[in-house]
Structure 1
């Protein structure tokens, strides 16, 4: 007669050779003879699990574990069975118990991480993935999964370093490349695109990496590349609302709304109840309100549609209705930086500077905001007592913003602070003479120690500026006397002199609307009694090559090296006529007579329905009476030029 050990050996041999019915019979006979034989319970439990008899398997394996709790193999197999039965929490508990018995087992730590993740215990899962990588550092998969969990937990820096290690271990790990790209995108690192492109190549059937690649290109201002990636996403997932929405936005940036609108309308014929689709269509049809209203009818709490409609109403000068919608959007998502920033622009345009400045601080959290946060460790100055301390004021956004708000630097110094100023190199000569500013640094220069920091456009909030308290004394900037004398001599002659600027920075989102272009200014050049001088720099200067100019026009751009040169020229002129761009701010800051051509939906700083500016006392504003109507505004400027010449 066979011993117990011999019987178990025979049963195991039958089991492993595939003779499962005979093995099951023999396991049963063994357990009839010795009901608490743990090896038989364990092996019979595995056989039942293989045959799909999960309930019986669980009973047998649980009895085996109870009899031999110190056997890690039993616990690991019971954990596997728990997962198969849909109980990941129980599986994680058994894996943890097994790992305590074999603390150096990557084969236990890794499945523990997976079970904990299934059970929703991301903390335990992350710890187990990391333990796996400590036990066996050359394993790419646990490294990748740890990086993914770190990204989900918002620990972006750790996620990036962990995921970089994962892709070094396995360069073909598409999921790791994808999450690395998303993490890099969150921190606005330029190699986000490289990582996401690698992910898209390695995951050819997955639309999501292409969507995120499109988003990375979009955030970097590469509209064509964004559209190409998004088309790839839509080829895999034609109904992907996010890809359609972003494609519409990208094509809008380059005037190619038609393609996006066609794709969206095709989607909406199939899915007319897709609120995101209607919102995306609104981006492809920037003048229309119907698609936004349709999105909100389908989904009243669609925050993007609320903000989008509010912005359109603001641009149509329906400020009260715009603000009501902005308020709803902020109530829906109080933590949304974009919702608050959008509301700030409407509040500021309406003249509510107090509420506007407060909301404007949300700009640093907006993905499309043109300036990155500096990440300075010093605290933001918000108006606290600062006597005897040092503060760094630093430029943000465009040069015009710096020129407009540098007026606050002397006011900070008047509070007893030592003021340092950091700006673009082309502004340094212009700002050197500011009262109270100890030193002006070009961006990138080494900075001395300082106690506080403040971006220039946060200063109005720090001073609680209202319309009636705007520090509007001009000039607060001055032209270099030697340069001015030289320009006065060069520009001397018969007749009145006027400097012309007709275009802003084309990278600015609203430049098409705010820049009239040289052709629109043709009626001004026909007004007798004036000599015209071109102050236009940048891409707008190219328009001169395509247009014959009258003898009364002289292009000064080749002689302008920096803003200090432009200031000296302006100080030598009788008048400056400019679109809404940096030279307009410079003329206003110098106290030079300034006429500004404004679009129907102007930038917030020019307010609404007034011909003067509380920021610049020497400015006169000429506004489009309707969208796109530069002819009327330019005609009013021409008439005013003629009147001025007649009385000179």
Structure 2
């Protein structure tokens, strides 16, 4: 008769040879004879697990472990069985016990980490991954998984450090590159797109990698590259709504409105209830309201759709309705800089300067705001007693804004402050000599010590400016006497001397709507008795090469070096006729007669339905009667110009 050990050896041979029925019979006989034989319990349990009888296997292996708790092999096998049964917490407990028995086993530490992670025990999982790498430093996989876990827990800086080590060990590990790229993107690291592009090469069938690559490139401002990555994601998963939405946004940024609309309509066929999709579609439908109404019908508290509809209504001059929607958007998200900024423009346009200035301070939190915060440590001056203190006033946004609001600098000085002014270099000659300003600095020059600071467009708030208290005394800027005298002599002669500006900065949002262009001025150029002088600089000047001009027109652009030159020329003119751009503000600040050609939805500073400006007493405003109708504006201005010529005769 065989001994117990011999019987176990025979059963194991049968088990190993795949003769499982015979092996199971023999295991059963052994356990009938010796119910607490741990090796038989262990081996029989493994056989049951192989056959899919997990509960019976768990009972057998559990008894084996209870009899021999010091055997790590038993515990490791029981741990694997618990994972197979869907109980990762129990698996982690057994792996941890086994690791205590074999503390230098990477083969136990690594699966412990996986089980703990499945069980939601992040701390234990991370410790086990780290222990694995300490035991076997050349293993990349535990580093990869540790990095992923750190990223998911929001410990992004640590995740990047670990994942960088992992890809140095395994440069071909696509998943590591993917998670490294996403972590770098979270940190706004400019190398994120490079890491994700590498991941995309290594994982050619992974649409998520391409989606994340598209997102990283989008955030980096690489719109065309983002679109390429997103198209490749959609080639793998055509119904990926996130990729469709982001592709539409990328193409909108590059002016590809045809593809934008196509992509968004494809998205909305997949998800007609996607409020975000309808809002995105509205961005490619200037002036239309239908998509915004659809977005709000689906999601009445969609803040971006509320603000978008409010802005459209503002541009339609439906100010009361616009402000109601802006108020709703702000109530929904009081901390939203965009919501308050949008409301500020409607309030200011409506003449509510008090509320408008308060909301206008939110501009620094707006993602696409053209000027970035200076980050100066000195406090923002908001009207406090400033006598005997030094303040830096600094330019923001466009040159026209600087010219309009530098009028406040002498008022700050009148409160007893020592005033320093910082502006773009091309404004220096114009602003030197401004009353009360001790010194004017070009942006980037070293600055002396100062106590307070204030951006120029925050000064109206500091002075609590209302319509009736706008400091409108002109001129508050003057032309250099020597330059002005030279230009007076140069421009002397018969006829009404009219300066012309027909376009603004094309980089400015909305410039296409606010700039009439040279062709629209044809009726004005046909008025007899005038001499016209072109003051147009920048891209708009190119229009002269494409259009024959009358003999009464002289282009002065080649002789204009800076705003001081323009001011000297304007001081010699009878009238400046301009679109909404910096030279218009200069003419107004100089007290030169100014005729301003305005779009139907004008910039907030020109208010609504008035032919004058409280900012510039010498200005006369000519407004489009309907969107895009520059012809009506030009005809009205031409008639007024003819009357003015006749009055001089």
Matches of 2:97 and 2:46 in 1, distance apart?
19
- Residue 225 of structure 2 is aligned to residue 236 of structure 1: no
Corresponding position of 1:353: 353
Aligned partner of 1:507 in structure 2 is 507
- TM-score scaled by structure 1? 0.82
Match of 1:639 in 2: 639
Could you say which residue in structure 2 is the equivalent of 1:541? 541
Residues in 1 aligned to 2:318 and 2:566: alpha-carbon distance in whole angstroms: 37
Q: Distance in 2 between matches of 1:104 and 1:448?
A: 63
Cα distance in structure 1, aligned partners of 2:72 and 2:444 = 59
Secondary structure of the 1:641 match is helix
Question: 2:53 matched to 1:53?
Answer: yes
Change (3 A) 1:446 1:348: same
Aligned to 1:608: 608
Q: What are the equivalent positions in structure 2 for 1:477-488 lying under 5 Å apart?
A: 477-488=477-488
Q: Distance in 2 between matches of 1:161 and 1:491?
A: 68
CA distance in 2, matches of 1:582, 1:207: 48
- 571 and 299 in structure 1: CA distance in 2 versus 1, 3 angstrom threshold: same
SS in 1 for 2:532: strand
* Structure 1 residue aligned with 2:560: 560
Moved more, 5-14 or 352-361: 5-14
1:302-354 deviation per Cα after TM superposition (whole angstroms, max 9, x unaligned): 33333322222222222222233333334444444433333333333333334
Q: Does 1:492 align with 2:492?
A: yes
Q: C-alpha distance in 1, partners of 2:455/2:67?
A: 69
Determine whether 1:317 maps to 2:317: yes
Q: Tell me, what secondary structure is at the counterpart of 1:647?
A: helix
Shift of 1:249: 4.5
1:370-394 per-residue CA deviation (whole Å, 9 max, x = no partner) reads: 3444555665555566666665554
The reply to whether residue 205 of structure 1 matches residue 205 of structure 2 is yes
State the SS of the aligned residue for 2:368: coil
Alignment of 1:554-633 (within 5 A): 554-633=554-633
Contact 1:109 1:132 in 2 (8 A): yes
Q: 1:164 to 1:22 in 2, by over 3 A?
A: same
Aligned residue in 2 for 1:528: 528
The count of residues paired between Structure 1 and Structure 2 equals 648
1:550 equivalent to 2:556? Answer no
Deviation of 1:106 (Å): 6.0
Please tell me whether residue 298 in structure 1 is matched to residue 298 in structure 2: yes
Q: Distance in 2 between matches of 1:127 and 1:434?
A: 66
For the residue of structure 1 that corresponds to 2:621, the secondary structure is: strand
Q: Contact (CA 8 Å) 2:292, 2:308: kept in 1 or not?
A: yes
- Alignment TM-score, normalising by the size of structure 2: 0.82
TM-superposed deviation, 1:256: 3.9
- Checking the alignment, whether the CA contact within 8 Å between 2:503 and 2:516 is kept in structure 1 is yes
RMSD: 4.3
SS class of match (1:573): coil
Q: Tell me which structure has the larger Cα radius of gyration.
A: 2
8 A Cα contact 2:247 2:263, kept in partner: no
Q: Which moved more, 1:468-477 or 1:130-139?
A: 130-139
Residue deviations 1:38-82 (CA, integer Å, cap 9, x gap) = 676666555544443333444455566666777766666555544
Mapped partners of 2:149, 2:339: distance in 1: 28
User: Relative to 1, partners in 2 of residues 1:40 and 1:624: Cα closer, same or farther, differing over 3 Å?
Assistant: farther
Superposed CA deviations along residues 422-457 of structure 1, whole A, max 9, x for unmatched, are 444434444444555555544444556666655444
Q: C-alpha displacement at 1:627, in angstroms?
A: 1.0
- Deviation of 1:576 after TM superposition, in Å, equals 2.5
Runs of 5+ in structure 1 lacking a partner?
none
More divergent stretch after superposition (569-578 vs 44-53): 44-53
Paired residues of 2:248 and 2:263 also in contact (CA < 8 A): no
Deviation at 1:405, TM superposition (A): 3.8
Q: 1:15 to 1:260 in 2, by over 3 A?
A: same
Whether contact under 8 Å (2:244, 2:267) holds in the other structure is: no
- 1:244–1:280 Cα contact (<8 Å) kept: no
Q: How many Å apart are 1:513 and its aligned residue?
A: 1.5
**1:232 shift after superposition:** 3.5
